[in-house]
């Protein structure tokens, strides 16, 4: 049995490398050289992001910040503005922190070993393995959603990929399949196969180089694998943004704390437990602070689904005639014509594009 399993594993690695060399035509700009900075930047941008969405951002970042030094020197607001619309904004904060740490602690060059890379903020097991492999061809197997799917189907594995036991098993298996001196090619091949052939829905098994010995294809369990044990609960939130307008200026503030959209700008926010009427909105303590008698005017409403949250957002116009000193001290007034110079969450950008100046 052990010999049979070894043969199945050898076939997997050999066929994967053959397919990569002869048939895989998937390529991206960051693969053109082995510069750690570009590989790292691409990995951070592509986390939880489709390649089609992330690629334009990568190209804009490389154009504006072709070196790590330039990124490390950039102003926070400038970088967040370039990141705007990509989501998961903590990645952008980590991007800046890591660039500055590499400059300060490593002389501007990324560490050339897995542990050194793993010690950097925002670089987890997957990203450290990717940089170590693609930049330095070190023997570290990358394990992402594509890799889980290919391995689970080929070997017929029913371990939950989001369980501690499952993660450990898949990582060990992926490492055992890694060919000596061909780490980068193997890792790229298995990720590309998962992205283009062994896809979540409607996999192209006829075009798969592994189909001959694929357990899931043989047993008809392709649609059942990989297995996940958890379903993430989705929290509903209700944002009511007040566009406080006074003398052609709008009041804005930068979001802080550990919540979503950290370090991005927003308008005066009243978050309510549920979707509420205008009258109920005017009965909140936040509204009363403004000392406005006239009801706010609803301009637009929308919904945005994040990974674990559903945000219902409404935008109201308020011709603010009250004392500016009543507003939170960390906010500031901005002329409407320069709103597009600030970094906002995608929901607010969509509103501005439709209704005001962008």
Domain with CATH 3.90.79.10 in the chain: 235-355
> Is residue 240 pLDDT above 90, yes or no?
yes
Closest-CA residue to 174 (of 146, 202, 201)? 146
| Token output for 176 | 């055992």
What local confidence, expressed as pLDDT, does residue 358 receive?
Answer: 41
Note every long-range contact of 33-42, with CB atoms under 8 Å and residues 24 or more positions apart, other chains counting.
Answer: 34/134, 34/135, 34/136, 34/184, 35/135, 36/109, 36/110, 36/131, 36/135, 36/136, 37/67, 37/68, 37/110, 38/62, 39/130, 39/131, 39/134, 39/135, 40/98, 40/110, 40/123, 40/127, 40/131, 41/95
Mean pLDDT for 224-238 is 88
What local confidence, expressed as pLDDT, does residue 4 receive?
Answer: 56
Q: What is 2-224's CATH superfamily?
A: Hypothetical protein; domain 2 (1.10.340.30)
What local confidence, expressed as pLDDT, does residue 308 receive?
Answer: 85
Mean pLDDT for 347-352 is 93
Mean pLDDT for 295-301 is 94
Closest-CA residue to 103 (of 143, 68, 131, 54)? 68
pLDDT confidence tier of residue 80, bands split at 50, 70 and 90 = very high
Domain with CATH 1.10.340.30 in the chain: 2-224
Q: Residue 43 catalytic?
A: yes
What local confidence, expressed as pLDDT, does residue 9 receive?
Answer: 96
The DSSP call for residue 247 is T
Catalytic residue chosen out of the listed positions 15, 43, 249, 266 = 43
- Which CATH architecture group holds 235-355? Alpha-Beta Complex (3.90)
Mean pLDDT for 146-154 is 98
**Is the pLDDT higher at 305 or at 312?**
312
Mean pLDDT for 35-59 is 94
- In order of 49, 340, 344, the CA distances from 84 in angstroms are 14, 11, 6
pLDDT confidence tier of residue 135, bands split at 50, 70 and 90 = very high
Mean pLDDT for 329-357 is 89
Rounded CA gap, 208 and 195, in Å? 12
Could you list the beta-strand ranges (E) of 123-273. Answer: 235-246, 249-254, 265-266, 268-272
User: Mean pLDDT for the chain?
Assistant: 93
Mean pLDDT for 313-322 is 93
* Those residues with Cβ within 8 angstroms of residue 32's Cβ, 6 or more apart along the chain or in another chain: none
pLDDT confidence tier of residue 356, bands split at 50, 70 and 90 = low
What local confidence, expressed as pLDDT, does residue 2 receive?
Answer: 46
pTM of the model: 0.82
Mean pLDDT for 224-245 is 91
| Token output for 249 | 């200026």
pLDDT confidence tier of residue 1, bands split at 50, 70 and 90 = very low
């Amino acid at each position: 049995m052990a010999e049979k399993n070894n043969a199945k594993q050898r076939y997997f690695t050999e066929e994967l490398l053959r397919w990569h060399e002869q048939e895989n035509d998937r390529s991206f700009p960051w693969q053109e050289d082995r510069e750690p900075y570009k590989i790292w930047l691409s990995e951070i941008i592509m986390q939880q992001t489709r390649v089609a969405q992330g690629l334009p951002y990568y190209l804009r970042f490389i154009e504006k910040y072709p070196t790590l030094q330039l990124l490390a020197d950039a102003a926070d607001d400038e970088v967040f503005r370039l990141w705007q619309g990509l989501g998961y904004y903590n990645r952008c904060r980590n991007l800046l922190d890591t660039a500055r740490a590499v400059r300060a602690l490593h002389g501007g060059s990324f560490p050339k070993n897995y542990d050194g890379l793993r010690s950097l903020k925002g670089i987890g097991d997957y990203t450290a393995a990717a940089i170590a492999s693609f930049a330095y061809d070190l023997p570290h197997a990358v394990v992402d959603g594509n890799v889980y799917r290919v391995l689970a189907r080929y070997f017929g594995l029913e371990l939950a990929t989001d369980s501690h036991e499952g993660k450990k098993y898949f990582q060990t298996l992926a490492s055992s399949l890694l060919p000596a001196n061909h780490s980068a090619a193997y890792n790229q091949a298995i990720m590309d196969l998962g992205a283009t052939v062994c896809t979540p829905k409607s996999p192209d098994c006829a075009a798969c180089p592994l189909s001959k010995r694929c357990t899931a294809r043989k047993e008809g369990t392709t649609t059942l694998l990989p297995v996940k044990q958890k379903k993430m609960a989705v929290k509903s939130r209700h944002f009511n943004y007040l566009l406080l307008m006074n003398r052609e200026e709008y009041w804005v503030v930068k979001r802080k704390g550990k919540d979503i959209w950290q370090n991005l700008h927003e308008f005066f926010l009243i978050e309510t437990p549920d979707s509420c009427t205008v009258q109920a909105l005017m009965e909140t303590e936040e509204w009363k602070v403004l000392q406005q008698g006239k009801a706010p005017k609803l301009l637009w409403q929308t919904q945005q689904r994040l990974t674990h949250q559903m945000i219902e957002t409404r935008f109201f116009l308020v011709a603010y005639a009250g004392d500016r000193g009543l507003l939170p001290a960390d906010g500031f007034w901005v002329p409407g014509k320069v709103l597009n110079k600030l970094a906002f969450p995608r929901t607010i950008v969509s509103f501005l594009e439709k209704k005001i100046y962008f």
